[in-house]
């Protein structure tokens, strides 16, 4: 993922959490807010409840790759935080990808026509 597309600072995460809208699926939550600048920004969050650092990093890598594959069809006018919920560590990559696609579809941010 390109550096200009990453959310890095705590204040940016806090702003999106405070002012953004969120949608849930079984294992994933997406918090999003209309972007004031281009390109879109994305952040990933995995709680310590998920497991030790090795497990959390594995979950984060899977979420990043799934988002990267789906990013062509995702609305580019928003900033996003994808939050992992408990139980996601037991899913394989394809299931994680389906969860992310489902939550973006639920939020009406995923355009199915181009895929």
> In this predicted model, what pLDDT tens digit does every residue of 42-85 receive, in sequence order?
999 999 999 999 999 999 999 999 999 998 999 889 999 999 99
The domain spanning residue 86 has which CATH number? 3.30.230.10
* % the chain with pLDDT above 90: 80
Please tell me the predicted confidence (pLDDT) of residue 4. Answer: 82
Please tell me the predicted confidence (pLDDT) of residue 36. Answer: 83
Model pTM score: 0.90
- What is the extent of the structural domain holding 73? 3-110
Instruction: Classify residue 73: in a domain, yes or no.
Output: yes
Instruction: Classify residue 25: in a domain, yes or no.
Output: yes
> Could you tell me if 42 and 80 are in contact, meaning their C-beta atoms sit under 8 angstroms apart?
yes
Instruction: Classify residue 36: in a domain, yes or no.
Output: yes
Q: At what angle do helices 93-106 and 53-70 cross, to 10 degrees?
A: 60
* CA distances in angstroms from 105 to 31, 47, 75, 77, 112, listed in the order given: 13, 24, 11, 15, 8
Please tell me the predicted confidence (pLDDT) of residue 38. Answer: 78
Q: Reduced to 3 states, what is the DSSP secondary structure of residue 23?
A: strand
Please tell me the predicted confidence (pLDDT) of residue 1. Answer: 63
Instruction: Classify residue 14: in a domain, yes or no.
Output: yes
Domain count, the chain: 1
Instruction: Classify residue 115: in a domain, yes or no.
Output: no
């Amino acid at each position: 993922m390109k550096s200009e597309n990453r959310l890095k600072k705590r204040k940016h995460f806090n702003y999106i959490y405070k002012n953004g809208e969120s949608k849930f699926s079984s294992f994933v939550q997406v918090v999003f807010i209309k972007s004031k600048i281009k390109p879109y920004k994305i952040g990933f969050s995995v709680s310590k409840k998920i497991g030790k650092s090795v497990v959390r990093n594995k979950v984060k890598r899977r979420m990043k790759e799934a988002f990267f594959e789906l990013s062509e069809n995702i609305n580019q006018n928003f900033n996003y935080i994808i939050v992992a919920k408990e139980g996601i560590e037991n899913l394989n990559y394809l299931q994680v990808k389906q969860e992310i696609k489902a939550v973006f579809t639920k939020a009406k941010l995923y355009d199915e026509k181009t895929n």
